[in-house]
């Protein structure tokens, strides 16, 4: 086992990324607090300049590079949000960024990447194909490979989100976040449990293609088929050679839930109707988990990481159909 990450790494990340990533608001949800008879807080990382929390880890990874690597540039693989964040970070720091994505990535995210200034490579039909291409470019062009989650600097960057939550509301005792590769849960869990070891950290994935939950159940990293979901930002594997996030999720995540597409759709529409926010499926899975699994929250202080807002019109229309509502004309 390699060296472990500590709270210090998260403080270091925060000093590095301050001013480039937003310290996002933590706002109380009256609607959800009333509905579940508890205190509900929403951590609005959807307000980050690139529309997701991924900017935290991307900035920390680039700011941690050696000067020679900075000059040569970096390559990554991403469903969209990490690639977009790394492209933005590269532009602001003057570091060339190449992003490899699969053909499954939705159009709005591809378009955003094209406009971000990054070199875009579309390769294969799943994230693992895109990842192989990224590693090939690393070897061929001498680029530094920045993984979207399984990296200590990325995890420490994502952890700054948890630090902010606990500084503002240290009595929060239950936290929900979307779970894919586990970078968010790993960083969040480390930060939260360093401040309050009794706080519970819950990860939520979609029903099909929940690679981390399958891996945790098996006791080792597993490959699972990638399936279309409203929570498209949660797709993809955890890497069979996972070095960081699998062990950290095992250690810091207390419970994991899967949610059905229709529940994700309803939760997205909750955000629209009650919170007046348009969010991604991946950002709504926590609320979906409470509803689907009828979790008892009475009297608790609960935070949800609202992790992203990069929602395509097509996916939003699909959510409306699934939830039994007519798509909205203004989209
Ligand atoms: C990447 C992402 C997640 C999951 O983060 P991991 O670190 O891969 O577990 C959740 N929500 C959104 C919006 C994301 O982009």
Could you tell me if the CB of 282 is within 6 A of ligand 1?
yes
Please provide the DSSP assignment of 236-291 as one string.
Answer: S---TT--SHHHHHHHH--EEEEE-HHHHHHHHHHIIIII-----HHHHHHHHHHH
Could you tell me if the CB of 308 is within 6 A of ligand 1?
yes
Same-domain check for residues 99 and 136: yes
Residues with Cβ within 8 Å of residue 11, at least 6 apart in sequence? 163
1 found inside a domain: no
Same-domain check for residues 280 and 196: yes
pLDDT for 312? 87
Same-domain check for residues 191 and 276: yes
The model's pTM is 0.95
Same-domain check for residues 266 and 318: yes
pLDDT for 326? 82
Q: Which of 111, 145, 179 is the last residue of a domain?
A: 145
Could you tell me if the CB of 238 is within 6 A of ligand 1?
no
The ligand 1 atom nearest the CA atom of 212: 9
CA distance to 70, 76, 156, 215, per residue, from 151 (Å): 17, 12, 9, 18
Could you tell me if the CB of 26 is within 6 A of ligand 1?
no
As a 3-state breakdown, the chain gives helix, strand, coil percent values, each rounded to 5, of 50, 15, 35
Q: Which of 89, 120, 145 is the last residue of a domain?
A: 145
Same-domain check for residues 102 and 249: no
Could you tell me if the CB of 81 is within 6 A of ligand 1?
yes
Q: Is the distance from CB of 73 to CB of 99 less than 8 angstroms?
A: no
41 found inside a domain: yes
pLDDT for 117? 87
Give the structural domain span for 317.
7-53+151-329
What are 260's two structure tokens?
A: 């059905």
128 found inside a domain: yes
Same-domain check for residues 120 and 34: no
Q: Which of 145, 178, 196 is the last residue of a domain?
A: 145
Same-domain check for residues 138 and 279: no
The ligand 1 atom nearest the CA atom of 177: 10
Same-domain check for residues 202 and 222: yes
pLDDT for 79? 62
Could you tell me if the CB of 233 is within 6 A of ligand 1?
yes
CATH number, domain containing residue 178: 3.40.50.1100
Series of mean pLDDT values for 10-residue runs along the chain (331 residues): 86 97 98 98 97 98 96 88 94 95 82 87 87 93 95 98 98 98 98 97 98 98 93 92 97 98 98 96 98 98 98 92 79 52
What are 149's two structure tokens?
A: 């989650």
Same-domain check for residues 203 and 286: yes
282 CA from centroid of ligand 1 (Å): 7
169 CA from centroid of ligand 1 (Å): 23
Same-domain check for residues 231 and 190: yes
Q: How many domains does the chain have?
A: 2
Same-domain check for residues 303 and 190: yes
Same-domain check for residues 36 and 67: no
pLDDT for 331? 52
122 found inside a domain: yes
2 found inside a domain: no
183 found inside a domain: yes
pLDDT for 102? 87
């Amino acid at each position: 086992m390699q060296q472990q990450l500590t709270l210090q790494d998260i403080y270091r990340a925060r000093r590095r990324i301050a001013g480039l990533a937003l310290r996002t608001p933590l706002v109380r949800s009256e609607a959800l607090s009333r509905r579940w008879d508890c205190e509900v807080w929403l951590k609005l990382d959807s307000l980050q300049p690139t529309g997701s929390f991924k900017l935290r880890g991307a900035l920390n990874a680039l700011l941690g590079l050696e000067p020679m690597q900075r000059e040569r540039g970096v390559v990554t693989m991403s469903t969209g949000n990490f690639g977009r964040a790394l492209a933005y970070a590269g532009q602001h720091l003057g570091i060339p960024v190449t992003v490899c994505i699969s053909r499954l990535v939705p159009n709005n995210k591809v378009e955003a990447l094209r406009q971000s200034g990054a070199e875009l490579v579309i390769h294969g039909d799943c994230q693992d194909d895109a990842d192989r291409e990224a590693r090939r470019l690393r070897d061929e062009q001498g680029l530094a490979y920045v993984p979207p989650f399984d990296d200590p600097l990325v995890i420490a960057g994502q952890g700054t989100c948890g630090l902010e939550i606990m500084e503002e509301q240290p009595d929060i005792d239950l936290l929900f976040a979307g779970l894919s590769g586990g970078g968010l849960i790993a960083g969040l869990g480390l930060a939260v449990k360093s401040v309050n070891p009794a706080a519970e950290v819950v990860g939520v994935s979609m029903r099909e293609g929940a690679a981390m939950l399958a891996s945790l159940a098996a006791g080792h990293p597993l490959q699972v088929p990638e399936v279309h979901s409203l929570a498209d930002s949660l797709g993809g594997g955890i890497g069979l050679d996972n070095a960081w996030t699998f062990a950290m999720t095992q250690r810091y995540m207390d419970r994991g839930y899967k949610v059905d597409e229709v529940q994700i759709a309803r939760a997205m529409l909750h955000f629209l109707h009650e919170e007046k926010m348009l969010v991604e499926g991946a950002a709504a899975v926590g609320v979906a988990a409470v509803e689907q699994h009828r979790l008892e929250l009475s009297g608790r202080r609960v935070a949800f990481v609202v992790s992203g807002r990069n929602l395509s019109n097509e996916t939003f229309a699909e959510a409306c159909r699934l939830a039994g509502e007519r798509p909205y004309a203004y989209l």
